[in-house]
């Protein structure tokens, strides 16, 4: 039950965002402020999305009586009737005006929480199948059969990424659909889509270190590519050279790589890494500064032998 309530909150938040853009002056159109052509189906979809915000969550159909032994009771439908109507109208809006970014974005944001909910259920089911009963050895259990949603709505990750992509392509200045795709793609583990969106964010947000920092953090923490992360942090430092937090990140990466090379007795590489780290350490008496000086001292001793 908790996951259903959590999913309901996500759905409401996504729908509210779509409705706020529709209500705000120029909120439904491109960041350039161009006025969209009328798209009645999109407006109708937003209307149904508003209704879905306050509509109750779907309830499971009554189970057969008696319930067959070992059978699971029926699950609640994934979509509210109002959401189904909204999806239908957004799809009509896309068919009528494929270049209108608004229905693409609204549809992706409506479907994204449902995709995350399905992923949560699948992960929980996988965990349950692997977890052995107390005092018993683990026993392989076949994966449940995936049945199509009775609504017929495709809310798979690929479809949602595609709609976010269409919204981004059709609105070459807006930031919001790019941000939304980054968040969704990271959450579902589509690293290719997430990286593409972060690269697009770098292009759209001008003269700011922020997009480079976010891309660098993604490369470092998600893709585990520290050298590529350094390049993004260096770009960020062009716009904010005295940012101690970013300098510390770069120094920390070089220190980690230097320590690893030192442990493998690759002393030439270690020397290079710690020398690079020293360029980004402002306070030589800090923990990072002392560590760099310690390793450089060890390397001088090794070379002097």
174-211, pLDDT tens digit by residue? 999 999 999 999 999 999 999 999 999 999 999 999 99
The percentage of residues in the chain with a pLDDT greater than 70, rounded to a whole number, is 81
Predicted pLDDT of residue 15: 40
Q: How far apart are CA 281 and CA 248, in angstroms?
A: 7
Predicted pLDDT of residue 303: 83
Predicted pLDDT of residue 148: 53
Alpha carbon dihedral 154, 156, 162, 164, in 10-degree steps, equals 100
- Find all residues with CB under 8 Å of 82, minimum gap 6, and list them: 48, 49, 51, 52, 55
Predicted pLDDT of residue 84: 97
The answer to whether 277 touches 251, Cβ cutoff 8 Å, is: yes
Q: Is the pLDDT of residue 120 over 60?
A: yes
Q: For residue range 64-79, what is the model confidence (pLDDT) as tens digits?
A: 778 777 777 778 889 9
The answer to whether 49 touches 110, Cβ cutoff 8 Å, is: yes
pLDDT band at 32 (very low <50, low <70, confident <90, very high): very low
Predicted pLDDT of residue 28: 43
The two three-digit tokens of residue 32, written as one number: 């350039």
The answer to whether 112 touches 14, Cβ cutoff 8 Å, is: yes
What's the rounded mean pLDDT across residues 16-39?
A: 48
How far does Cα 21 stand from its chain's mean position?
21
Q: How far apart are CA 195 and CA 51, in angstroms?
A: 35
Q: Is the pLDDT of residue 24 over 60?
A: no
Alpha carbon dihedral 173, 177, 182, 186, in 10-degree steps, equals -170
Predicted pLDDT of residue 65: 77
For residues 141 and 302, the model is more confident at 302
| Domains of the chain as residue ranges with CATH | 2-60+78-131+154-204 (1.25.40), 215-304 (1.25.40)
What's the rounded mean pLDDT across residues 243-267?
A: 97
Q: For residue range 121-156, what is the model confidence (pLDDT) as tens digits?
A: 888 777 766 665 555 555 544 444 444 567 889 999
What long-range pairs does 137-146 form, CB within 8 A, spacing at least 24?
Answer: none
Q: Is the pLDDT of residue 97 over 90?
A: yes
Predicted pLDDT of residue 143: 42
Q: For residue range 213-245, what is the model confidence (pLDDT) as tens digits?
A: 999 999 999 999 999 999 999 999 999 999 999
Q: What is the DSSP string of the chain?
A: -HHHHHHHHHHHHHHHHHHHHHHSTTTTS-TT-PPPPP-HHHHHHHHHHHHHHHSPPP-PPPPPSSPPTTPPPPPPPSS-HHHHHHHHHHHHHHHH-TT-HHHHHHHHHHHHHHHHHHHHHHHHHHHHHHSPPTTS-----PPPP-PPPTT-----HHHHHHHHHHHHHH-TT-SHHHHHHHHHHHHHT-HHHHHHHHHHHHHHS-S-SHHHHHHHHIIIIIS--HHHHHHHHHHHHHH-TT-HHHHHHHHHHHHHHHHHHHHTT-HHHHHHHHHHHHHH-S-TTSHHHHHHHHHHHHHHHHHH-
Q: How far apart are CA 214 and CA 154, in angstroms?
A: 31
- Find all residues with CB under 8 Å of 269, minimum gap 6, and list them: 257, 258, 261
């Amino acid at each position: 039950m908790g996951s259903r309530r959590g999913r309901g909150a996500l759905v409401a938040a996504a729908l509210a965002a779509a409705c706020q853009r529709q209500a705000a002056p120029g909120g439904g159109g491109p960041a350039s402020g161009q006025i969209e052509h009328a798209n009645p189906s999109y407006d109708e979809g937003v209307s149904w999305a508003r209704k879905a915000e306050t509509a109750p969550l779907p309830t499971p159909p009554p189970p057969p009586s008696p319930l067959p032994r070992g059978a699971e009771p029926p699950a609640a439908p994934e979509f509210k009737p109002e959401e189904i109507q909204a999806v239908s109208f957004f799809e009509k809006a896309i068919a009528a005006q494929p270049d209108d970014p608004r229905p693409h974005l609204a549809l992706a944001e409506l479907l994204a929480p449902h995709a995350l909910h399905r992923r949560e259920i699948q992960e929980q089911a996988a965990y349950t199948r692997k977890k052995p009963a107390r005092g018993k050895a683990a026993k392989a259990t076949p994966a449940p059969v995936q049945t199509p949603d009775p609504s017929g709505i495709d809310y798979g990750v690929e479809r949602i990424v595609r709609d976010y992509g269409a919204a981004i392509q059709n609105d070459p200045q807006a930031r919001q659909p790019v941000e939304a795709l980054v968040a969704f793609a990271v959450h579902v583990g589509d690293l290719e889509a997430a990286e593409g969106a972060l690269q697009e964010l770098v292009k759209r947000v001008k003269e700011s270190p922020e997009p480079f920092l976010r891309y660098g953090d993604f490369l470092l923490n998600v893709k585990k590519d520290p050298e590529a992360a350094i390049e993004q942090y260096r770009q960020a430092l062009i716009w904010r050279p005295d940012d101690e937090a970013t300098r510390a990140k770069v120094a920390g990466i070089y220190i980690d790589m230097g320590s690893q090379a030192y442990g493998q007795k690759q002393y030439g590489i270690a020397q290079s890494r710690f020398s690079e780290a020293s360029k980004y350490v402002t306070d030589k008496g800090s923990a990072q500064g002392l560590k760099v000086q310690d390793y450089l001292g060890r390397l001088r001793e090794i070379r002097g032998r």
